[in-house]
Structure 1
Amino acid sequence: MSQTVTTPTAPRPPSLEQELEMFRGEEESAQQYFYGYLATQLVPFKNSEVLEKMRETPMFWRTTRYALLMSAFVVLGRIFDQDSKSLHNLDKLLAVVSANIGALSRAGLLQRRVVQGMTPADAAAYASTKYDLTTNDVRAMRKEVAKWRKVYEATYRDIRHKIFAHKGVSSAGADALMAKTNIDEVKEMLGFLHSLYMSLFQLHSNGLKPDLTPTTFSMPPTAYLGSQQSSAAEHMYREAGDLLYGLIDPD
């Protein structure tokens, strides 16, 4: 009795849309965790009544702050990780962008608009003034990623590896590593990651020229805009602030 032997097929590489969506989830998670941590630090610092209420349940708030900060560093590690076994990171994202450079053009945008329901004539008119991604653009993205990876590796990678992922240093060593950190630097790093995502998303969706200027998040957020209009960082800080101020004023 004969047996049919089937050869397993290799998994299909992720599409640009899939890789971009994966990156969005990672960079927004890093925003949420870090700015949630900042809220639990800054709100009680600015309001003594909130601080007094938090002291009624100190274990919960210490654990929450630690968990948020740890999660932020774990996600940043995944984003900047260059392990060949990593399925999704910045290098994989830019490799997919390079492989799809032809799709990130006026011609590619025209085709996507037709698929979305535009007439070929309207799609051609819409795409005619849009931007064609170039190899120089991708090179500039890689250069900026390399710059921020150096920042991450110089200060933050050891914190992720030696404090949060493994207990590789003493308490004094952990304090020394944390003393090297800079909140404004982490904010700018997260702002760069968000600008990279938004640049690629807007290029793919609307044909806009990439702009890698790091996003500046409004802290504290000045007005409620809703989760669809504010960044993940701003939305998280706002909700955390609402929770903390709710400790002293439930209304």
Structure 2
Amino acid sequence: MSFADELENFRMEEESAQQFFFGYLALQHIPGDNSAVLKKLNDTPTFWITARYSLLLAAFVALGRIFDQDHKSVHNIDKLLRAVSDEIALFNPASLEARRIADGMDPTFAREYAADKYTLTPADVRSMRKTVAKWRRIYELRYRDIRHLVMAHRGIPRSQVEALFADTKIDEMKDMLGFLHALYGALWELHVNGRKPDLTPTAFRLLPRQGYGGSDNAGERMYRDAVNLQYSMLDVPTPMRDED
């Protein structure tokens, strides 16, 4: 599988994880903050409880597909980095110039555009692997067992389930998803524009508002849509503020 194919598969997985988790957060935040919304949701509680649980389940499943190292996995974050390493010759000014010309850019302009762009090194790839390993350790420490023991299988005692969830951290999940989104963006920018990779985790801004302006982050769009859906059932304005 080529780098471009692996990157696109990774994008779909990391954006899915964002959407599922931030959709779940919206169904946690808004009813807790607004009694009128909570009352309206309680008119059809079975649906909303099921929807909230399903979103959380899907988020953990998506994270598992990204981080788990099952040899049967067709795509995961390791295979993405292996493609980067195997095709490292793609990430230099000469290759960028050739891609730009193939896309229709004037050859002289393409040469000038690509001349000072970044050349990826094996040390860069090792640094990416090190950062991925750090986040995988966090996933394995606090989240993998939820996926395997609670979401995928039944049978462990309720006390153990509660202990697993008690050890999770919403801000940590946001940072993990922010790192995955930053990794995708860094590799896309490197391939398309020759920019040096920056793996600083994306800081998601969960601001409910009407309309579709603003960020292109899948998680933020999902959060806003889920908020607007809940408030659309009421004759009250959507509050304009950040959520914790």
Task: Choose from 61, 64, 69 the match for 1:77.
Answer: 64
Instruction: Give the structure 2 partner of residue 7 of structure 1.
Output: none
- Secondary structure in structure 2 of the residue aligned to 1:102: helix
Between the aligned residues of both structures, percent identity stands at 56
Q: TM-score, normalised by structure 1?
A: 0.91
Post-superposition Cα deviations, 1:89-148, rounded to whole Å, max 9, x if no partner, equal 010000000011110111111110010011222111000121111111111100000000
User: How far off its partner does 1:46 sit?
Assistant: 1.1
Aligned length: 237
Instruction: Give the structure 2 partner of residue 86 of structure 1.
Output: 73
Post-superposition Cα deviations, 1:26-66, rounded to whole Å, max 9, x if no partner, equal 00000000000000000111111001101111111110010
Instruction: Give the structure 1 partner of residue 230 of structure 2.
Output: 244
Asked whether 1:134 is paired with 2:125, we answer no
Confirm or deny: 8 A CA contact 2:16 2:59 kept in the other structure.
Answer: yes
User: How far off its partner does 1:248 sit?
Assistant: 1.2
Asked whether 1:185 is paired with 2:165, we answer no
The residue type equivalent to 1:25 in the other structure is: M
Confirm or deny: 8 A CA contact 2:61 2:147 kept in the other structure.
Answer: yes
User: How far off its partner does 1:183 sit?
Assistant: 0.3
- Secondary structure in structure 1 of the residue aligned to 2:156: coil
The residue type equivalent to 2:171 in the other structure is: D
Q: Which has the larger radius of gyration?
A: 1
Confirm or deny: 8 A CA contact 2:209 2:224 kept in the other structure.
Answer: no
The residue type equivalent to 1:237 in the other structure is: Y
Instruction: Give the structure 1 partner of residue 11 of structure 2.
Output: 24
Unaligned runs of 5+ in 1: 1-13
Confirm or deny: 8 A CA contact 1:218 1:234 kept in the other structure.
Answer: yes
Instruction: Give the structure 2 partner of residue 105 of structure 1.
Output: 92
Confirm or deny: 8 A CA contact 1:226 1:235 kept in the other structure.
Answer: no
Unaligned runs of 5+ in 2: 238-244
Instruction: Give the structure 2 partner of residue 38 of structure 1.
Output: 25
Confirm or deny: 8 A CA contact 2:57 2:151 kept in the other structure.
Answer: yes
- Secondary structure in structure 1 of the residue aligned to 2:120: coil
Q: TM-score, normalised by structure 2?
A: 0.94
Post-superposition Cα deviations, 1:164-207, rounded to whole Å, max 9, x if no partner, equal 01114122211111000000000000000000000000100111
User: How far off its partner does 1:17 sit?
Assistant: 0.8
Confirm or deny: 8 A CA contact 2:19 2:219 kept in the other structure.
Answer: yes
Asked whether 1:217 is paired with 2:204, we answer yes
